[in-house]
Amino acid sequence: MPKSSTLIRSLALIGAVGVAATGVVACGSSSSSSSSSAADTMATMATTGTATTDTTATTAKKATEVTTVAVTLGKPSAFSLVPDTTTAPAGKVTFTVDNAGTMAHELVVLKTDTPAKSLPVKNGLAVETGNIGETGDMAAGTSKSFTVTMEKGHYVLLCNLPGHYQGGMYKDFTVS
Ligand SMILES: [Cu+2]
């Protein structure tokens, strides 16, 4: 009886040590591998040099510059659509849209070679082929913005609530 109880105790002890040892090894290897990869990254950054890193950062910043285009809807007349510019450089463009009128409007951006005044119309709506972004309906007196990535080319800005395109709510827009 004492013999077997000692044996059980020994086995239990071995088991415990085994689990503990495995745990230690696992922890040790995982923490050492992550710290070594962090160290590698630091070493790479150090080797790459500060000058190179700075140049890359500057280039990246230029590439991600965002152009802002402010568009006023419904002012000065009910069906006005007035952007503060009709050109932008290729890249990200944020349209900040202000419905300054007295009824709901929206801003839709289409990439199309068709001149703004010549879009096909069905049931009082311009066909939105090439839609790359829009505000959705905006109640009078509200503002909304959205950002799209624009490639070189011709675009049309319009409001496409029923009859509004035909009422004159459109502008050509060029990205160069
Ligand atoms: Cu409108």
CA of 122 from ligand 1 middle (Å) equals: 16
39, 61, 83: which is the final residue of a domain?
Answer: 61
Residues 110 and 39 in one domain: no
Q: How confident is the model at residue 68 (pLDDT cuts 50, 70, 90)?
A: very high
> What is the 3 state secondary structure string of the chain?
CHHHHHHHHHHHHHHHHHHHHHHHHHHHHHHHHHHHHHHHHHHHHHHHCHHHHHHHHHHHHHHCCEEEEEEEECCCCCCCEEECCCEECCEEEEEEEEECCCCCECCEEEECCCCHHHCCEECCEECCCCEEEECCCECCCCEEEEEEEECCEEEEEECCCCCCCCCCCEEEEEEC
Domain span including residue 28 = 2-61
- More confident site: 68 or 31: 68
Of 30, 61, 92, at which residue does a domain stop?
61
Between the CA of 156 and the centroid of ligand 1 the distance, in Å, is 14
Cα 176 to averaged position of ligand 1 atoms, centre (Å) = 27
More confident residue, 43 or 150: 150
Å from CA of 86 to ligand 1 middle:
18
Same domain (yes/no): 127, 171: yes
Residue 167 Cα to ligand 1 midpoint, Å, equals: 8
* The last residue of a domain, from among 43, 61, 79: 61
Query: Both 76 and 156 in a single domain?
Result: yes
Whether residue 3 has pLDDT greater than 70: no
pTM (predicted TM-score): 0.66
Which residues have a beta carbon within 5 Å of ligand 1, which is an ion? Answer: 105, 159, 161, 164, 169
